[in-house]
Chain A
Amino acid sequence: MAQIQSKDQGKGGKKKAKRYSTEIDMTPMVDLMCLLITFFMLTTAFAKPKVMVITMPEKDKTEEEKDKPQISAERTLNILLAGNDEVFYYKGQPKPEKPMPQLVKSDFSKDGIRRMLLDWNRDLFTQITEYREKRLTGEIIVADSTFNKTIKQMKLDDKKGPIVLIKADTAARYKDIVNIIDEMAITNIASYAVVDIGEVEVMMIQAVKAGTPLTEYPKIQVREK
């Protein structure tokens, strides 16, 4: 393929020695390189996967019930994932002697659960967002580590935001749990945990889906563990 092009200056008469130009046809080389580039571009894992880190509470079976941290009922927000993008939430803890908390239906849209979370977590969210914006505009200049530490401290000092308990029903999809943890990150919720769903909560979801929300604490057999 590669050929050396000769430029013949067609002048009759004197016979000059043929001059070969040193031009090489680059086209095949370009072809080859194009192919190689395409190959590398397609096989390369350019975008490294992103991860969302969650830390679960340690499972220690010997630990006694009384050692579990007590959380105030007013700050407890239970989010129940029922699958099919359905989310229910209620405040407080269901107890036999208290009136039954009512489930509120919500979803993952912008005006769904996020609105409620932002409303409840207003103080902390404002504080963190303002701090972040100040850093973006260059009003304050801090290192990444200090920045993260300050936000962590803000979250620790927060006394008003909800303590979210995320509970997934058997019908929940994996994306539901990722979505809700993502909402926690978006709305800067200070404390949240993924916990097992209780029997009462399963009954509450079923009752709401059937159109007859529970008004009383249901009778359930307490199973010995």
Chain B
Amino acid sequence: MPKIKPPVSTPRIDMTPMVDLFALLLTFFMLTTSFRPQEASMIDSPVSISQKQAPDFNLMTIYVNKDGKLFFNIDNGRDSTTKYREQILKKMADRYEMTFTDEEYDLFGRLASFGMPIKDLKKWIHGENSQERDLLQIGMPMDSADNQLGYWVLYSRIVNPRAEVAIKGDADANYMVVKEVMDLLQDNKVNKFNLITNMQPEEVGLDDLPPER
């Protein structure tokens, strides 16, 4: 009697449902994604219980890193044709008697946060890659002799008066630096600040009340 041979077949799994699932996930991520903006410096925000979200558009952000260096960012607004960044740079160029080409304006409009004296800005705009750019991020000057951050804020306020102001400070940054930034903003008639924090829920209920004395 011949042996019964088991049918030889390679084990195959039907991949179709998996592909379906992946396609779905991919579509979801592609549609919901808003690319994480490249940040000029590593900043570790402090925690708070606040649940309010930062606005997506019309947001001017000032970064304060651990060493007290300052970086600046503003977006182009909801409607990308407004090109706020280009307008601000034009005003800055007039102020510091510099000239930028149309291509440079365009490139600057698409970049994110920056922090360097304006004389290095051209080099930053033309930076080949992010490493080269990061080397130029040495912090925005804010001393009384050359208050460049002040002018960036001032022109941003003129170009986009609706922009809200957020401060993203490192947990270990000295408060005095943050205070200087706030003073500068108050001089520009900004009295409402959004301090960017990481959410960490904390439950405090009636049970936590200390016993009545």
Instruction: Tell me, yes or no, whether B34 is within 8 Å of chain A by CB.
Output: yes
Instruction: Tell me, yes or no, whether B107 is within 8 Å of chain A by CB.
Output: no
For A182, list chain B residues within 8 Å (CB). Answer: 47-50, 197
CA distance A45 to B38 in the complex (A): 11
Find A186's partner among B64, B204, B209 (CB 8 Å cutoff): B204
Which residues of chain A (110-138) have a CB below 8 Å from chain B?
A: 110, 114-115, 118-119, 122, 125-126, 129-130, 133
Instruction: Tell me, yes or no, whether B212 is within 8 Å of chain A by CB.
Output: yes
Find A130's partner among B186, B187, B206 (CB 8 Å cutoff): B206
Smallest beta-carbon distance B179→chain A, Å? 7
Q: B208, A118: Cβ atoms under 8 Å?
A: yes
Find B49's partner among A55, A56, A185 (CB 8 Å cutoff): A185
Q: A174, B46: Cβ atoms under 8 Å?
A: yes
For B171, list chain A residues within 8 Å (CB). Answer: 173-175, 178
Which applies to chain A's interface (DSSP): helix, strand, loop or mixed? helix
Stretch at the interface among B23-31, B79-87, B96-104, B146-154: B23-31
Stretch at the interface among A23-31, A86-94, A153-161, A198-206: A23-31
Instruction: Tell me, yes or no, whether B88 is within 8 Å of chain A by CB.
Output: no
Residue of chain B at shortest CB distance from A169:
B175
Chain A residues touching B, range: 35 or more
Total CB contacts across the A-B interface at under 8 A: 174
Q: B19, A53: Cβ atoms under 8 Å?
A: no
CA distance A122 to B168 in the complex (A): 33
For B62, list chain A residues within 8 Å (CB). Answer: none
Instruction: Tell me, yes or no, whether B32 is within 8 Å of chain A by CB.
Output: yes
Instruction: Tell me, yes or no, whether A36 is within 8 Å of chain B by CB.
Output: yes
Q: A51, B194: Cβ atoms under 8 Å?
A: yes
Smallest beta-carbon distance B198→chain A, Å? 7
Q: A26, B19: Cβ atoms under 8 Å?
A: yes
CA distance A168 to B180 in the complex (A): 13
Q: B48, A50: Cβ atoms under 8 Å?
A: yes
Q: B209, A125: Cβ atoms under 8 Å?
A: yes
Instruction: Tell me, yes or no, whether A58 is within 8 Å of chain B by CB.
Output: yes
Assuming A175-B171, A175-B172, A186-B204, is B193 touching A45 (CB within 8 A)? Answer: no
Q: B16, A118: Cβ atoms under 8 Å?
A: no
For B45, list chain A residues within 8 Å (CB). Answer: 49
Q: B210, A57: Cβ atoms under 8 Å?
A: no
CA distance A173 to B172 in the complex (A): 6
Chain A 16-38 near chain B by CB (<8 Å), digits 1 or 0: 00000001001101100110110
For A177, list chain B residues within 8 Å (CB). Answer: 175, 178
CA distance A81 to B178 in the complex (A): 15
Smallest beta-carbon distance A47→chain B, Å? 8
For A26, list chain B residues within 8 Å (CB). Answer: 15-16, 18-19
Chain A 166-197 near chain B by CB (<8 Å), digits 1 or 0: 00101011111111011001110000000000
Q: List residues of A whose CB falls within 8 A of some B CB.
A: 23, 26-27, 29-30, 33-34, 36-37, 40-41, 43-46, 48-59, 81, 110, 114-115, 118-119, 122, 125-126, 129-130, 133, 168, 170, 172-179, 181-182, 185-187
Nearest 10 pairs between A and B by C-beta? A26-B15, A40-B29, A51-B194, A175-B171, A33-B22, A175-B46, A45-B36, A52-B50, A178-B46, A174-B169
With A40-B26, A45-B37, A174-B170 given, can you name 17 additional A-B contacts, CB distance below 8 Å? A26-B18, A30-B19, A48-B53, A51-B50, A52-B197, A53-B52, A58-B191, A119-B209, A126-B206, A126-B209, A130-B206, A170-B176, A173-B171, A175-B172, A177-B178, A178-B48, A186-B202
